[in-house]
Chain A
């Protein structure tokens, strides 16, 4: 994997004040949301198009996002969503580092449109809204 791809896997997608779910809860929800997206043929196709990829190559085991606790304390925790290492690495291996780098804004769309609404639907308290800040790519 090239160094560009290594940089990519550490890119942050969202930082927000934590809701009721911790990192373990969120990672389980993210995994389930990703499986659910890929199980819907129309959504699998749409995501593949978004990522300029072949629907057949999208792997339910390669989860694109991972949640970590960015800070915690008396006023509550902060959640950081990052592009999942395995997913980006596999993508970089198949399409090259430059394509992997261009993937980042698409991953943000994937998160915002397909995954986040499943992880924390409207009215849910699993994650807070809105994010504290949008991170630069």
Chain B
């Protein structure tokens, strides 16, 4: 569902509050400064509440954002750096409103058709990062291939958005592939919501959007009980998100919360998927957890068996193996799910180092020969050994 004019205004105001005015991210303890930030956040909250009545057409979005920027300046003043940043962002967003539904292909620097109100800029940053990770794994994809189209929608209520306000899904059958982002309306967004959004983007791209990226044939979408996609690859998505929000890497104008609080929040979001995922049988939840454990065991075995020279190299090889496998021309989620079961048996259930080492050696061989049939055979051998 494309963004309506009202939703564009709501999203622009809500995200501005999350990016610059979340009290949790304020370094200052001065009550006067905190009061200013609260007042500024209150103006944006009022703006969100008033959007349905005041923004009824796309032509009304930019003036409404400018009006709210004006209120920040008039009622709070711009002597505080964060309030000034929020004011400047709203002014920029007002100039960047495009007469479309806000969906499209993402670029870190918005193209002429990219509407500034939504999440296309953030999606572009994450997509660029994932494409770079794919490049590091020697997966040679043309710069914009496969193309990914982003669609954002705001929902009043959703039975799957109870603990958190951000969700996502992907459809890789059509071209371009589509990543849907879902945000729940309510209060203005927080800096923690932005972390959930960053994680969701990483998840949809790493686990889904680039699955079978090298395939020219028909593609299939993964069900949420696919433990390869939602367990093994999700663990990699978590690690990539965690690395991205590190102090020196994160785009601070999007991700305001940093340090242990940010890492912990991403971990909570990740963990929830393994503790109480909705619409899953108990055994499927177990398989998801085992797939996560198997990914960790793969990397650990690289280190323990001295197949990697350092933890960093082990992490890099685990990432490379996973990305190569997930994007492989002959791989789809059903084949990968079967393989993930065997990987788990050898890496986790056998409780012996030998099968784990055999699987990791098979993985390293795959990194070189990229032969999926051989990998499957080698892993099966490790399982029965």
Contact = CB atoms under 8 A, between A and B. Distances in A.
B220 A73 contact: no
Contacts of A39: none
Contacts of B223: 18, 22-23, 69, 72, 77
Interface in B226-276: 226, 229, 273
B279 A17 contact: yes
Given A18-B224, A22-B223, A23-B223, A73 B279 contact: no
A72 B170 contact: yes
A75 B161 contact: yes
A19 interface: yes
A73 B208 contact: yes
A20 interface: yes
Contacts, number: 79
A9 to B, nearest CB: 16
Query: Interface extent on B, as a size class?
Result: 20 to 34
Given A19-B279, A20-B279, A125-B279, A72 B222 contact: yes
B279 A72 contact: no
Nearest to A125: B279
Contact of A77 (B178, B203, B222, B281): B222
A25 to B, nearest CB: 9
Interface string A56-87: 00000000000011111111111000000000
A27 interface: no
A128 interface: yes
A93 B281 CA distance: 42
B160 A77 contact: no
Given A20-B279, A77-B221, A72 B226 contact: yes
B203 A76 contact: no
Interface string B187-225: 000000000000010011001100000000000111111
Nearest to B201: A74
B177 to A, nearest CB: 10
B171 interface: yes
A76 B208 contact: no
B167 interface: yes
Contact of A74 (B221, B273, B279, B334): B273
Interface of B: 158, 160-161, 167-171, 178-180, 182, 200, 203-204, 207-208, 220-226, 229, 273, 278-281, 284, 333-334
Interface of A: 17-20, 22-24, 68-78, 125, 128
8 contacts: A20-B280, A22-B223, A23-B223, A68-B220, A69-B220, A71-B180, A73-B204, A75-B168
